[in-house]
Amino acid sequence: MAEHFYPLKVAEIVAETDEANSIRFEMPAELRDAFRFRAGQHLTLRTDIGGEEVRRNYSLCVAPDDGQWLVTVKRVAGGVFSNWVGDALKPGDTIDVMPPHGSFTTAFDPASKRRYVAFAGGSGITPVISLIRTSLSCEPGSRFTLFYGNRESNSVIFLEALAALKDRYMGRFELYHFLSDEEGEVDLFNGMLDRATCDAAIGALVDEPDKVDAWFICGPGPMMDAAEAALTDRYVAHDRIHIERFIAGKPSAAAAARQAVLQQEAAGLSISVTLDGRTRKVQFDGRNILDSARDAGLPAPFACKAGVCATCRAKVLRGKVDMAVHYGLSDEEVAAGYILTCQSVPCGEGVAVDYDA
């Protein structure tokens, strides 16, 4: 689909911690359908800061049935958007927002009795708390365990909200905090969620790990790698592990060099691009399919341009493409022919991609 941004008014800025603020949007009745979302999904925000267009993706931290639209933005050192939110954004201001998207989710069913476990670190809690809230309220027979890593208790986003959920859903929600810069009585909880701690937490705190229906991982890169390795080494099936990345890792020099060669070889090839029901031929510009489409005047959607957010997802209808990275796609999506166009280079003439698929 072409990118459709809607100007949404900021209803409230909620200070979650010294570093993190949630933005609550006013949602006009006529946009509620377009902004319906699934737990774990995110919004793409767009605004002008200092004369430059800036786009960022932020996860919704509420459940779909809450009737609210809130995203949480944690300050990043030198971060243009996150510091603008913390310093300048105020209620009554307007931001362009793209309807929710993302595949860090699962199908909730009130009749299911499922077992969920999540590893979250820092602001990685935002999509995870949406999943927790949804499973606890929509699936009365399901249980959720959260391993949540932070530096210190002051920096824990949703500290009170999580404690309240634990009280309210006693026996169905287990919450374990891991703090790297504070020391408590239990050794296991002192330190980061590194590989050894992830292994120990699963071993000690998850009864019957084999019966966990879905594992969710979101947080800093090393924590995500550690949690994923702990699960794959236990032979947890890939389709039960859901990973949401906020930041892409840097490609290796070899991968970057390989991509540069492919881009050069593909320069000038013609690609057929379908967007909003119309198909057009565009010329590959030597960078990626997304930029080629946009240079040709097609409003193909994007946010991160780093292979993480999947805003630029399209399906290959014909031909072969090479993707530099595809963090934002599940294995199933890749197998079904989906690509991240910001990362894709056509391998030969006649490639056709469809943003509507």
- CB distance 85 to 23 below 8 Å: yes
Q: Smallest Cα–Cα separation from 72: which of 19, 33, 111?
A: 19
342 lies in the binding site for ligand FES (CB under 6 A)? yes
d(CA 145, CA 162): 11
Q: Which of 21, 307, 344, 351 binds ligand FES (CB under 6 A)?
A: 307
Between residues 179 and 310, which has the closer beta carbon with respect to ligand FES?
310
302 lies in the binding site for ligand FES (CB under 6 A)? yes
Between residues 85 and 309, which has the closer beta carbon with respect to ligand FES?
309
Between residues 133 and 313, which has the closer beta carbon with respect to ligand FES?
313
Q: Which of 310, 314, 316, 353 binds ligand FES (CB under 6 A)?
A: 310
**Helix (H) / strand (E) containing 290:** helix 289-295
Q: Are strands 344-346 and 321-323 parallel, antiparallel or unpaired?
A: antiparallel
Q: Cα-flanking dihedrals φ and ψ of residue 80, to 5°?
A: -65, -50
Closest approach of Cβ 248 to ligand FES, in Å? 8
- CB distance 42 to 127 below 8 Å: yes
Total chain residues near ligand FES (CB under 6 A): 13
314 lies in the binding site for ligand FES (CB under 6 A)? no
Between residues 27 and 312, which has the closer beta carbon with respect to ligand FES?
312
129 lies in the binding site for ligand FES (CB under 6 A)? no
d(CA 187, CA 31): 49
Between residues 316 and 340, which has the closer beta carbon with respect to ligand FES?
340
Between residues 219 and 328, which has the closer beta carbon with respect to ligand FES?
328
Handedness of CA 339, 298, 256, 229 (dihedral sign): negative
- CB distance 190 to 94 below 8 Å: no
The piece of 20-28, 253-261, 297-305, 349-357 that touches ligand FES (CB under 6 A) is 297-305
The piece of 24-32, 87-95, 158-166, 303-311 that touches ligand FES (CB under 6 A) is 303-311
For the record, the structure tokens of 94 come out as 């307007």
Beta-carbon-side half-sphere exposure of residue 269 (alpha carbons within 13 Å): 24
Binding residues for ligand FES (CB under 6 A):
302-305, 307-312, 328, 340, 342
